[in-house]
Every structure is written in structure tokens, then in C-alpha cells.
Amino acid sequence: MVMSESDLRPTVVAPAPPASVDDARPAAREVFTVHDLNVYYGPLRAVADVNLDVRERQITAFIGPSGCGKSTVLRCFNRMNDLIDIARVEGSVLYHGIDLYDPQVDPVAVRRRIGMVFQKPNPFPKSIYENVAYGPKVAGQKGNLDEVVEGSLRSAGLWDEVKDRLDSSALGMSGGQQQRLCIARAIAVNPDVLLMDEPCSALDPIATGRIEELMKEIQNEYTIVIVTHNMQQAARVSDRTAFFTAELDESTGQRRGKLVELADTGTIFSNPADERTEAYVTGRFG
């Protein structure tokens, strides 16, 4: 039997009573746990031996130079690499303990639970309203979608700007508005996780600031993983940061992505454990 979206929903477990005041704040649960992840494009191993975790209701940033595999790893979290014919994934990606690459898991259900916002805003050539309502309609939601559309646009910080022109084409919006619309569209299907692949790289500083503010506003409702080439952005918005690099595979002569370290963002930028991380965040390479 194929696992459905309901099977992927996390089970809420009541925390045990704290042993002391110091234990009163529960540790964040792990949403993703990645073990020995390797990703191949044909014979090329693009990502090698990645082990990491992503914690619930936190913003985790992936940083590193171009070609280090950070976007490839991100796409493993909602099986977007399945859409690439020559891609092959080895290892395990656990989502609340469920292996997303188990043959019984439905990738469509995965993508409903784990939404994605891409580098370039990609609104549909439809009205603002229809862009947001599209996902719930495809998912089979019946009846009046007005509340879903309004709630999603409010969550994306866009409602007040567009409430009087919901029937207008989304293609007439500014780039920053289009990106927030794409976030609203992702939110409309009630996901658990939002993946963001360099969501601000095509935006000006003002629009970038609004997206960053939005991420902080919604992180109490969603677990967020962001790939960013902007180290200052990672330092501003994330709770934890993973630094990737591209290293030479001597057996093939090709470069492959490797995770160097993952830690609290303050630690990565002020006291990293690996000298390669320090060299990157201080601008000495990359």
C-alpha cells in the first residue's frame, strides 16, 4: 500500500515532565534526519556522504560556494530530484522518522507536506486569487476558498497590498510581490515545511528585507530550510547554519559537494569548528 499524505503527518507526542527547571524548555524535535546521503547525476557523484538534521520550527540555512551541492541536498527533502531523469539518490532522508525514499511513499504527498519556493518567482499566468487557490483545488478541497486565499495572503504579508485586485494577473506584480505570492501559494496547502532555494537572489534589497521579515514571522508555524549565497542573510534569519564545500574526488578528478559542519548560526559565524568554514565566512575563499 502506498503511503499517503496522512501517513506523512507527524504524530504529536506529549513531552515528559521536566526533571528540573533547567530541563523545562524541551529540545526541538528533528523534522529531517539525513544519513549517508549521496546524490548522483549519471556517473557524477554531486553530493557525498551528507549527514545532518533539521529541527522543527527553526530556520536552517545552507551556505557555501557555487557547486557545493546545497541546492541538490535541499531538493532531496521533497524529492524534486526525482524529476531529473539521470538523478539517483542513495542513503536515507527521514521525515519525522519516515524514509521519504521508501518505495511506498507517494512523492506527490511529500510535496504537499513539504512546499518549495524557487530562486526566481514563478507565478502562474492566472489571477492573484487563482494562484493561491490552485493548490487547494488540485488537492480536492471543495467549497468557498476565500478564507484560504485571504489567510495565505495574510501569512505572506501580501493581503493589504492586493486585496482590492485579486482578479488581476499575478504577472503584473513586482518581483518581490510575486515571490511573496509564491510563498502564499505554498502555504495554501497547509504544509509542514517550506524549502526556499535562494528566494531573494533575483530581488532588490527592499524586497529581500521583506522576505526575510516574513520568514521570521512565520517560523513559529513552519520549519524553514533556506539555501542562500548571501552569508549576511544566513546570519540575520537562521537559527542553524550548514556550511557545504566542493572538494576534489581524486578517483574521478571531479568535484563533489560535502557538508563541512552544521551548528548554531552564531557559532558558525563566530567560532566555527573547521578552518574551511572560517575561511569561507571571513571571505578568505569562495
pLDDT one-digit tens code per residue, 232-276: 999 999 999 999 999 888 777 788 999 999 999 999 999 999 999
User: Domains in the chain and their CATH numbers?
Assistant: 28-122+193-281 (3.40.50.300)
Reported as a single tens digit per residue, the pLDDT across 165-197 is 999 999 999 999 999 999 999 999 999 999 999
Q: Would you state the pLDDT for residue 13?
A: 33
What confidence tens digit (pLDDT) does each residue in 13-33 have? 333 333 333 333 345 689 999
Separation CA 15–CA 74 (nearest Å): 29
Is the separation of the CB atoms in 211 and 203 below 8 Å?
A: yes
Q: What is the pTM of this model?
A: 0.88
What is the residue-wise DSSP string for 28-94?
PPEEEEEEEEEEEETTEEEEEEEEEEEETT-EEEEE-STTSSHHHHHHHTTTGGGGSTTEEEEEEEE
Residues ≥6 apart with Cβ < 8 Å to 19 = none
Handedness of CA 81, 85, 88, 93 (dihedral sign): positive
pLDDT of 144 reads: 84
Contacts of 135 (CB under 8 A, 6+ apart): 112, 185, 186, 188, 189
Closest C-alpha among 8, 59, 16 to residue 222: 59
Type and span of the H or E element at 269: helix 265-270
Q: Which three cell numbers stand for residue 73?
A: 541536498
